[in-house]
Every structure is written in C-alpha cells, then in structure tokens.
C-alpha cells in the first residue's frame, strides 16, 4: 500500500529529513584522511540523538550501526569499523533518522582529499542522475518515469546502474511501498500523487553493474571492483512537483 501523507505528517517528515541533512553537514568536515568509519559513526549517532531523533538503521534487520559507510568499490551497506580513510578514497554515507515516529533517508558520496578524474566523473554524474530522476516527480507521472530518466542519464555517461537495490517509500517505516527502481519504462508503475513520500537513490558504478555481497553479509560491492557512488534524497510529491525533505 502506498501511503498519502497529511500536512501534519509531511511536517514531521520534513523535520526528520532536516535532521538527516544537518547530520550530513555536521559530518562533512570530519571526512578526511586518517579518520575511521567507526569514529564517523559515533559522531553521527551522538548528533542525531542531540536533535531528539534516533538512528533509523541501527538495529534495522540487525544492522549494527548508525551510518552505512561504503568506500570505493563498496556500493551500499558498509559497516563502520576501524578502516581509516585515505586520500583519494570516495565514501558514500547513508543516514536515516527517526523523529517522532517519522523517518528521513539520504545518502551522499564524498571525496577524501584529492580524488582522481574518474572518481570526480562518477560523483558528478551520479549526483546529476539523482536530479534527472527528481525532474520527473509530479502528480500524474509514474514511478517508471523516474527510473527511466536515471537509467538513460547513467547509460549516456557509460555508468553501470545497480538494479538489485532500489529507492522506496518513506514514512513511519524507513522502507515502505512503492519500490523506486533506478531503471524503468516510461508511463509504467504506480502513479505519483500529492502527499506521497519517496526516497530516490541512484547507485552507479564506474564499471559494470554487477554486484557481490561480502562475507559480513551486509556490504555490497561492485563485482569488478570499480568505484561506486550513491546519492539519495527523500522527497514529498507536491501539487506541482516535489519538495526535497533532506536538503537545505
Ligand atoms: Mg539511504
Ligand atoms: Mg533509502
């Protein structure tokens, strides 16, 4: 079932989204060579709690941390640990926060120090792919229009579209209906309606789209070990388009 949120609920989702956004802003200056992903995780958890919210991912299906921290060829669901960031890495940080029963979900990929041109290209165009998907969001359009736009943009930039993982509805649960794939056929899938809240989240690889799961049963990596990026916003469908809930 796809939920349509009332104005009161959208306001709570807006507050949850804002906390996720602020957590990203808070972490940014710490994303430097030498810091461990566990240290980033601790900072994020403390910050989210200080905002009167709780981390959405901690304990979700048994996930052990606040952040998903995925470095280089890791696509999503990396578990924070003792690995130190080094210059030239890229790290995707996925953050979920729950405020008064409502969630926000946003991932962003960050460079660590100076990164090579290939990684710059990957980050830039994965971010652009997210905005290509967002452009399709308005009442009457379909979920398939979003995926089609993302896939078309990714393919025209020779990036691999991860298909096993998809965006989703967001509300009183971090993952709700509908699924929001990063591929699709125009004019197919559920119709977008005012008050629907969804997370759009392209995961693109510099190489092939094939994936593997590491032995920790969480971390998903690109099979060919090419770098991967992930950008995600939670948005609400408005009368004429959309409002980003996890942005400024
Ligand atoms: Mg996320
Ligand atoms: Mg998500």
- If you measure from the C-alpha of residue 106 to the centroid of ligand 2, how many angstroms do you get, rounded to a whole number? 7
Compute the CA torsion angle 8, 96, 181, 162 (nearest 10 deg). 170
Number of domains making up the chain: 1
50-65: per-residue pLDDT in tens?
999 999 999 999 999 9
Q: Which two tokens stand for residue 218?
A: 């969480």
- If you measure from the C-alpha of residue 107 to the centroid of ligand 1, how many angstroms do you get, rounded to a whole number? 5
Q: Is residue 39 part of a domain?
A: yes
* Ligand positioned closest to the Cα atom of 77: 1
95-107: per-residue pLDDT in tens?
999 999 999 999 9
- If you measure from the C-alpha of residue 168 to the centroid of ligand 2, how many angstroms do you get, rounded to a whole number? 6
- If you measure from the C-alpha of residue 94 to the centroid of ligand 1, how many angstroms do you get, rounded to a whole number? 5
Residue with token string 């079932």? 1
- If you measure from the C-alpha of residue 136 to the centroid of ligand 2, how many angstroms do you get, rounded to a whole number? 18
1-10: per-residue pLDDT in tens?
999 999 999 9
- If you measure from the C-alpha of residue 20 to the centroid of ligand 2, how many angstroms do you get, rounded to a whole number? 12
For residue 19, the surrounding DSSP H or E stretch is: helix 7-27
DSSP code of 142? B
Please enumerate in sequence order all residues whose Cβ is within 8 A of that of 106, keeping only pairs 6 or more positions apart, or say none: 17, 20, 21, 24, 94, 95, 199, 232, 233, 234, 246
**CA pair distance 149, 123, nearest whole angstrom:** 17
Question: What's the pLDDT score for residue 35?
Answer: 98
Q: Is residue 157 part of a domain?
A: yes
Which CATH number goes with the domain that contains 35?
A: 3.90.230.10
CB 16 within 8 A of CB 102: yes
CB 211 within 8 A of CB 222: yes
Low-confidence ranges of the chain (pLDDT < 70): none
Question: What's the pLDDT score for residue 248?
Answer: 80
Compute the CA torsion angle 179, 104, 111, 49 (nearest 10 deg). -140
- If you measure from the C-alpha of residue 172 to the centroid of ligand 2, how many angstroms do you get, rounded to a whole number? 14
- If you measure from the C-alpha of residue 232 to the centroid of ligand 2, how many angstroms do you get, rounded to a whole number? 7
Q: Is residue 104 part of a domain?
A: yes
Work out the end-to-end distance of the chain between its first and last CA atoms, rounded to an integer number of angstroms.
30
* Ligand positioned closest to the Cα atom of 173: 2
Q: Please give the mean pLDDT across all residues of the chain.
A: 98
Nearest CA to 118 among 80, 158, 62, 172?
A: 158
Question: What's the pLDDT score for residue 20?
Answer: 99
Determine the 3-state secondary structure of 131 from DSSP: helix
Q: Is residue 179 part of a domain?
A: yes
Q: Is residue 38 part of a domain?
A: yes
- If you measure from the C-alpha of residue 185 to the centroid of ligand 1, how many angstroms do you get, rounded to a whole number? 24
- If you measure from the C-alpha of residue 175 to the centroid of ligand 2, how many angstroms do you get, rounded to a whole number? 7
- If you measure from the C-alpha of residue 87 to the centroid of ligand 2, how many angstroms do you get, rounded to a whole number? 27
- If you measure from the C-alpha of residue 16 to the centroid of ligand 1, how many angstroms do you get, rounded to a whole number? 13
**What is the distance, to the nearest Å, from the Cα of residue 20 to the centroid of all Cα atoms in its chain?**
11
- If you measure from the C-alpha of residue 175 to the centroid of ligand 1, how many angstroms do you get, rounded to a whole number? 9
* Ligand positioned closest to the Cα atom of 57: 1
Q: Is residue 151 part of a domain?
A: yes
Q: Which two tokens stand for residue 181?
A: 């794939």
CB 122 within 8 A of CB 222: no
- If you measure from the C-alpha of residue 9 to the centroid of ligand 1, how many angstroms do you get, rounded to a whole number? 20
List the domain range (segments joined by +) for residue 146.
7-244
Q: Is residue 133 part of a domain?
A: yes
CB 66 within 8 A of CB 56: no
Q: Which two tokens stand for residue 191?
A: 């119709």
Q: Is residue 1 part of a domain?
A: no
- If you measure from the C-alpha of residue 76 to the centroid of ligand 2, how many angstroms do you get, rounded to a whole number? 10
């Amino acid at each position: 079932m796809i939920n349509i949120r009332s104005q009161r609920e959208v306001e709570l989702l807006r507050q949850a989204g804002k906390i996720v956004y602020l957590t990203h802003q808070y972490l940014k200056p710490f994303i430097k060579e030498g810091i461990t992903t566990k240290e980033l995780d601790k900072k994020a958890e403390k910050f989210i709690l200080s905002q009167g919210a709780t981390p959405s991912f901690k304990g979700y299906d048994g996930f052990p941390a606040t952040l998903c921290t995925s470095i280089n060829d890791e696509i999503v669901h990396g578990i924070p640990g003792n690995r130190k960031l080094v210059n030239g890495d890229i790290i995707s940080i996925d953050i979920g926060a729950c405020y008064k029963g409502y969630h926000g979900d946003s991932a962003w990929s960050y460079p660590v120090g100076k990164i090579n041109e290939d990684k710059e290209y990957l980050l830039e165009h994965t971010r652009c792919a997210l905005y290509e998907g967002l452009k399709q969001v308005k009442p009457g359009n379909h979920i398939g229009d979003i995926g089609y736009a993302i896939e078309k943009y990714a393919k025209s930039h020779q990036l691999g579209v991860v298909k096993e993982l998809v965006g989703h509805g967001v509300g009183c649960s971090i993952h709700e209906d509908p699924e929001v794939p990063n591929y699709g056929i125009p004019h197919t899938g559920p119709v977008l309606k005012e008050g629907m809240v969804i997370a759009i989240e392209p995961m693109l690889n510099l190489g092939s789209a094939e994936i593997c799961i590491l032995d920790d049963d969480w971390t998903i990596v690109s099979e060919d070990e090419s770098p991967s990026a992930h950008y995600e916003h939670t948005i609400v469908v408005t009368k004429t388009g959309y409002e980003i809930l996890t942005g400024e």
